[in-house]
Amino acid sequence: MNHLASDMHKETFVLNMGPQHPATHGVLRVKLVLDGEYIVEAEPVLGYIHRMHEKMGENRTWAQFMPNTGRLDYLSALSYNHGYVAAVERAAGIEVPERAEVIRVMTVELNRISSHLLWFGAYLLDLGGFTPLLYAFDDREQILDLLESVTGSRLTYCYFRFGGLYNDIDDDFIAGLKGFVERLRSRLPMYHTLVTKNIILMKRLKDIGVVSADMCRRYGATGPVARGSGIDYDVRKNEPYSVYPEFDFDVPVYHEGDSMARYMVRMDEIEQSLRIIEQAIAKLPEGPIMAEKAPKIIKPAKGDYYHAVEAARGSFGVRLVSDGTNTPYRLKLRSPSFCNLSLFAEASQGMLVADAVAFMGSLDLVIPEIDR
């Protein structure tokens, strides 16, 4: 007997948007209790890709933890490099030369653009539009080629070091970067014509997944999710670090709180990152890329330190507890996607499954950084 028929006396049934699903952007399992097509209850189940990064932090020296930072959120690995390195530099009191800081900002913003481009393509793929993914990847290839010529890696970078950088950049990189900025600026209107102004997309994103500012505060959502709900908080402006205070850029904030607002925040962020890159190229000073007084073996003083950076998905925080030895005592990583995902359970009640997929895509989750 068809087991669906036996469920008929109950109104709801349980559907697993399982660990393997094209739209959950990683191994995320969401237990949905559905009433027909409407979601009554949604429960994300995590842990399918828990790799114990925080425990590894306790067993490796400060320098040996660097490759792990690139594997947390592999799409914006340089921001995570930056967060960890800045936290240790704050703990050990190392000064970074200005050239290194400016190059750090340049590469981090490039990485932010590549992360947003991939989000854009994957989001539209979830919604059924297959072509913008490949256009976005075409642009992203250029970024990856540029960053490969500097760091040697395409995705999981391990480029920053305590006190500066691993390699210096050369003139080819600057020339390539200028060409890229021009090319992407000329392609952005095409994205808006093909996707943003499309009536089908607007119907799919407007008023879907409305998240109020109060809800964002309760769950600790940061990044484009919070900025799409009207909270004007960007770690680069509110808790300034590195040389960001010297750059002139806007923080896009939209107040509607629906998926369209979050989409527009990220598209505007791409433009702002292009602005920052241009300013960084203009103000790149000469000088060393590594601090002279950076010790070979780092041993920060005993204490409890915290540093947050603005990754592509929100505020990434690193909390170090050092006991004076050459391995951390405790290394806590605050990943933005974890808090963004926690919005899903409350906000998805009463939604259609298709709208829930659109909502999850607009949160821009990367599951490996949730599970660490």
Partner 1 sequence: MSGYFKEIIDGTHSLVAGMGVTIKYMVKPVVTMQYPRASVKMTARYRGHIDLVKDAETGESLCIVCGMCQKACPSGCISVAGEKPEGAKKKVLTSYRLDFTKCSLCGLCVESCKPGAITFSKDYNLAGLTKDEFIFDLKKRLEER
Partner 2 sequence: MNPEVSRLLIYVVAAIAFVALNAAMLVWMERKVAGHMQGRIGPKEVGPFGLLQSFADGIKLMTKQLIVPEGADVPLFKVAPMLVMIPAVMCFVTIPFSETVAARNINVGLLLLFAIASVNILALLLGGWASNNKYAVISAARAVSQNVAYEIPMLITAITVVMFTRTMNLHDIVMQQAGGFWNWNILPFTKNPAMALVMPISFLIFFTCSMAETNRAPFDLGEAESELVAGFHTEYAGMGFGLFFLGEYANVFIGCSLAVILFLGGWQCPFGLAPGIHWFLIKVYSLIFVVMWARWTFPRTTIYGLLNLSWKILIPISLFNLVLTGALIKVF
List residues near partner 2 by CB under 8 A: 2-4, 13, 15, 22-23, 37, 124-131, 134-135, 138, 194, 198, 200-201, 203-204, 352-355, 357
Closest to partner 2 by CB, 123 or 233: 123
Of 157, 166, 161, give the one whose Cα is nearest residue 63: 161
- Which span (24-32, 146-154, 246-254, 311-319) binds partner 1, by CB under 8 A? 146-154
Shortest spacing between CB 127 and partner 1, in angstroms: 13
Q: Is residue 107 helix, strand or coil?
A: helix
Go through the chain and tell me how many residues it has: 372
Going by their DSSP bridges, the two strands 314-322 and 160-161 should be labelled as unpaired
Contacted entry of partner 1, partner 2, none for residue 55, CB cut-off 5 to 8 Å set by kind: none
Closest to partner 1 by CB, 14 or 63: 63
Q: How far is CA 198 from CA 23, 193, 203, 206, in A?
A: 21, 7, 9, 12
Do 29 and 352 contact (CB within 8 A), yes or no?
no
Q: Which of 1, 5, 8, 199 binds partner 1 (CB under 8 A)?
A: 199
Contacted entry of partner 1, partner 2, none for residue 352, CB cut-off 5 to 8 Å set by kind: partner 2
Contacted entry of partner 1, partner 2, none for residue 148, CB cut-off 5 to 8 Å set by kind: partner 1
**Cα 102 from Cα 37, distance rounded (Å):** 51
Q: Print the SS3 string covering 191-207.
A: HHHHHHCCHHHHHHHCC
Query: HSE on the CB side for 209, CA within 13 Å?
Result: 30
Which are the contacts of 361, defined by CB distance < 8 A and separation ≥ 6? 23, 25, 122, 123, 126, 127, 259
What string marks each residue from 154 to 173 as x (binds partner 1 by CB under 8 A) or -? --x-x--x----xx------
Contacted entry of partner 1, partner 2, none for residue 26, CB cut-off 5 to 8 Å set by kind: none
Q: Which of 18, 19, 67, 230 binds partner 1 (CB under 8 A)?
A: 67
Going by their DSSP bridges, the two strands 13-17 and 29-35 should be labelled as antiparallel
Can residue 52 be called a binding residue for partner 1 (CB under 8 A)?
no
Closest to partner 2 by CB, 294 or 354: 354
- Which span (4-12, 194-202, 250-258, 338-346) binds partner 1, by CB under 8 A? 194-202
Task: Measure the CA dihedral 68/74/77/81, to 10°.
Answer: -10
Q: Is residue 311 helix, strand or coil?
A: strand
For partner 1, the binding residues (CB under 8 A) are 60, 63-68, 71, 131, 135, 138, 145, 148-153, 156, 158, 161, 166-167, 190, 193-195, 197-200
